[in-house]
Structure 1
Amino acid sequence: MIDEFLAGGLNDVEEAVRKAAAAEIMPRFRQLAAHEIVEKNGPHDLVTVADRLAEEHLTASLTTLLPGSVVVGEEAVHADPGVLGALRGDDPVWIVDPVDGTRQFVHGDPGFATLVCLAHRGELLASWTYAPALDLMATARRGGGAWLGGERLRAGAPEPGAPLEIAISHYDFTSDEQKRVLDALSTEGIAPRPCGSAGLEYLNVARGTLAGLAFSWENAWDHAAGLLLVAEAGGASATVAGEPFRIAGGNALPFAAARDELTLRHILGLLASAG
């Protein structure tokens, strides 16, 4: 069933993502009222009516496209953490972040995205990274490459000798210990900076405009789509323990993704030295 869907249903998913953004996200971009924005776990962790309605829209459309599939969405997990159990189940699972970069969305910054990834038994099969305000749609299929606007993405390797720009977990979302470890990247030849939308940072790696990423949290909806995008563009990723990232959780953190294996090993070596 999944193989048949992958062979013929991916364009329908792209259309569903575009429709959800057009119906629930873009009409509210720069139009949010104060009561439509709520703090979840603090002043930097926001959710809006657009997040909730876009996830509901996608949940309905995606499960219709692939009968028997389930959805693990950021807002559903916030309401019921038990939803995460689907990542360890046997059903095909859609991993959804309706508005990745909610803080940017709230402040009228176009740097936000809708992230969707199809997985089965822990394996990432296909992904969609859509930035509606920037008119960018990136897709990836396991073994089928990564694409942006119909053009193949190839991460390549950073220019020898050039400083490596690395997007890292934003300090607003990190503990003192996580900051200490990430500070190991503040060294010669590395130019760390706080990340924006995780999904768009993965896209930057896949298209070769960012050397790598280092993150200290493992929410599947933030990473699944981007990890497949980077892998299919020829990039690499691993946890600080040198293991593949597991979408169901339990990873050694931080973890990193990079344009090439050499850059990844360099980033992980620095992070491990601070552990």
Structure 2
Amino acid sequence: MIENHNETIDEFLTRHAFDVEEAVRKAAAQEIMPRWRRLAEHEVDRKSGPHDLVTDADRKAELYLTGVLAALLPGSVVVGEEAVHADPRSYEAIQDDAPVWIVDPVDGTRQFVRGDTGFCTLVALARRGVVYASWTYAPVHDQLATAVRGAGAHLDGERLRAGSPGPGRDLRVATSHPDFTTDEQKRALLGLRTDGVAPRPCGSAGLEYLAVAGGESDATAFNWEAAWDHAAGLLLVEEAGGTHLTRAGKPFDIRGGNTLPFTAARDTATAHRVVDLLSDAA
């Protein structure tokens, strides 16, 4: 058993961050992109509802990443979206002491199935609720965003800086789709329909976080907690200079128990404004 996980994670990232990057790229090259716009009917299934899709690309890419990542860091475990669907108890590993890889093999599966370009692969390395590193890969455009806690966020090697929204325009906020919310969450999200805010339904969560980290979007307002959708992007936003807050005014915790909806934003002022609007309307 690893005696000092924090030190081990730091040392691991120094030695093997590029190996993780290569694993993410290979998973996309071998299992995802050959199926993009070529999916047969039998390669697409529904999980919990008509909008909750899974494909052979999701399953096979996750299997590949699970094998490679667990081998790279002895003593670590993998929590992947498709494995959790098969065995919900496996999600509990996020609460444990061991380093955990959090994997969404195809974030934006609906877009992937439609043949759209708006999907990505998400990998994060965390322990005890703290995300230490993340990889967000958009394979259609061959764009890779990375973040390491305390070392910044980068897109294809260039530093990402979220900055602050410019004056004189509406805040651009990507929101959860109202069809997938509780009544209370729907009321909260309606608080964004006010002067000075331009809400729109979100696409791939990972790409929405990347847009905030790069200053192309101002904030998100999401109402679900699945760590594979959020862990990578939240660190990306943090390391680009942004922040995230729940409706209780606390940072989002990937282990759960958050007051929803929550926001990730380019700066603290924007985060508080979005949370205030969500809280006032709920």
For normalisation by structure 2, the TM-score amounts to 0.96
Q: Could you report, residue by residue, the CA deviation over 1:201-258 in whole angstroms, capped at 9, with x for unpaired residues?
A: 0000000000100000010000000000000000010100011111111111111010
Quick one: which amino acid aligns to residue 123 of structure 2?
A: V
2:186 is aligned, of 179, 184, 187, to 179
Aligned position for 1:114: 121
RMSD: 0.8
The answer to which of 172-181 and 63-72 deviates more is 172-181
Quote how far apart the aligned CAs of 1:173 are.
2.2
Distance 1:114 1:174 in 2: 24
* 1:211 lines up with 2:213 in the alignment: no
Q: Counterpart of 1:185 in 2: which secondary structure? A: coil
Aligned position for 1:62: 69
Distance 1:172 1:106 in 2: 20
Distance 1:185 1:35 in 2: 40
Quick one: which amino acid aligns to residue 53 of structure 1?
A: K
Q: Counterpart of 1:159 in 2: which secondary structure? A: coil
CA contact (8 A) 1:99 1:114 kept: yes
Unaligned runs of 5+ in 2: 1-7
Quick one: which amino acid aligns to residue 273 of structure 2?
A: H
Distance 1:233 1:74 in 2: 26
* 1:132 lines up with 2:139 in the alignment: yes
**Pairing of 1:185-196 with structure 2 (within 5 A):** 185-196=192-203
Unaligned runs of 5+ in 1: none
Distance 1:84 1:246 in 2: 14
Quick one: which amino acid aligns to residue 228 of structure 1?
A: L
Quote how far apart the aligned CAs of 1:70 are.
0.4
CA contact (8 A) 1:117 1:127 kept: yes
Distance 1:166 1:270 in 2: 12
* 1:6 lines up with 2:13 in the alignment: yes
* 1:78 lines up with 2:85 in the alignment: yes
Quick one: which amino acid aligns to residue 154 of structure 1?
A: R
Quick one: which amino acid aligns to residue 114 of structure 2?
A: H
Count of matched residue positions in the alignment of Structure 1 and Structure 2: 275
Aligned position for 2:208: 201
Aligned position for 1:151: 158
Q: Counterpart of 2:166 in 1: which secondary structure? A: coil
CA contact (8 A) 1:44 1:172 kept: no
Aligned position for 1:47: 54
Q: Counterpart of 1:19 in 2: which secondary structure? A: helix
Q: Could you report, residue by residue, the CA deviation over 1:66-88 in whole angstroms, capped at 9, with x for unpaired residues?
A: 11110001001111111111111
Calculate percent identity across the aligned residue pairs: 67
**Pairing of 1:8-47 with structure 2 (within 5 A):** 8-47=15-54
The answer to which of 171-180 and 50-59 deviates more is 171-180
